[in-house]
Amino acid sequence: MAESRNHGLKVVVGERNFAPHRELLESLLPVGVDTSWHAVFDEAALVADLSDADVYIGGRVTPSMARAGSRLRLVLTGGAGTDKVSFDDLPKHTLVANTFHHEDSIAEYIAAAVVAVRRDLLVQHAALRQGVWASAVYRDGVPQPQTLRGAMVGYVGFGHIGRRTADLLGAFGARACAVTGSGRVADDSGLEWHGDTADLGRLMTESDVVVVSAPLTPSTTGMIDAAHLRRLGPSGVLVNVGRGPLVVEQDLFEALRDGVIGGAAIDVWYRYPTAGDEAAPSDLPFAELPNVLMTPHISGVTRDTFVGRVRDVTDNISRLLAGRDILRVVTPP
């Protein structure tokens, strides 16, 4: 059920991660803005509410929602990704803008995940719960894990997330290289080399850890397949914080199951809940694999992230009312 306040410009909030910051968001809005909040994603309720809305805040805009929002002047995704926005169904006058502020949170996640997977903490944790000390100190044949000092970390995508993560992992002594769609990076300091996606094979071969944070587009879907994973090799670790389908689902499962790569941290998936909080993240049994850290798309979900995003979206709403340029407008794919 939507809740509203005031009268004037109507803003529909469909991003549940903003709910803990409702007081802050409303305090930053100009006088005369009417907000309508949705506690859960209910497409029918949103379709009805968007019929007279001027602004929508939320990362998922279905075709039905887009068509219902005939008055929409601005969609604020509440995050970086726009792959769930039905651009083709939005009115031609509607602008779409995103926001970031997740780079510190995701960089922390990547650092923690890489250490956990690379040092076999997942396996040791599960074993010790059964009373087994799965360590080279007590068991023959268990290799001593390596630190990140001197390790090459390859970044598939090198925007806000890649840059911040490279800074953080650099403190561990890790090296870095990157590939991007254009072959360009805003700041290549600290990178030993960078190139375009034609160099992806080289990156997979030379890297000990691969961090995937590229945007999901028709050209990047399935960009990492079985051949690339073989290049990463049996001691390599893959971390995906971009979108699940950037990596071929079946190929990733088989590479992890068969020891083609050493392990993975997967925060972005191939299936998501459509209602409630229950859904298998894949049709394949990733949960049965001991070398996978599975998390429910939470790498960027921290208070710091969403306080920054609240400030961005309210600033853009103020800009809309004042007739000023909207920041971070995303061009339709």
Q: Is 178 helix (H, G, I), strand (E, B) or coil?
A: strand
Residue 164 CA: distances (Å) to CA of 45, 157, 301: 38, 12, 16
What's the alpha-carbon Rg for the chain, to the nearest Å?
A: 22
Amino acid at position 110, single letter: I
Q: Spot the catalytic one: 21, 297, 311, 328.
A: 297
Q: What does the alpha-carbon distance between residue 285 and residue 198 come to, in Å, rounded to a whole number?
A: 31
Sequence-distant contacts of 196-204: CB under 8 A, at least 24 apart: 197/223, 200/156, 200/224, 200/228, 201/227, 201/228, 201/231, 203/154, 203/156, 203/177, 203/178, 203/179, 204/154, 204/228, 204/229, 204/231, 204/232, 204/236
Whether the CA torsion 237, 243, 245, 246 is positive or negative: it is negative
Q: What does the alpha-carbon distance between residue 174 and residue 105 come to, in Å, rounded to a whole number?
A: 19
Active site residue 297: yes
Length of the chain: 333
Q: Spot the catalytic one: 38, 102, 164, 243.
A: 243
Active site residue 278: yes
Residue entry with tokens 């809005």 = 29
Residue 163 CA: distances (Å) to CA of 111, 198, 223, 315: 13, 21, 21, 25
DSSP label of 59: S
Q: What does the alpha-carbon distance between residue 134 and residue 121 come to, in Å, rounded to a whole number?
A: 10
Q: Is 125 helix (H, G, I), strand (E, B) or coil?
A: helix
Q: Spot the catalytic one: 23, 149, 278, 288.
A: 278
Neighbours of 133 (CB within 10 A): 11
Amino acid at position 224, single letter: I
Active site residues per annotation: 243, 278, 297
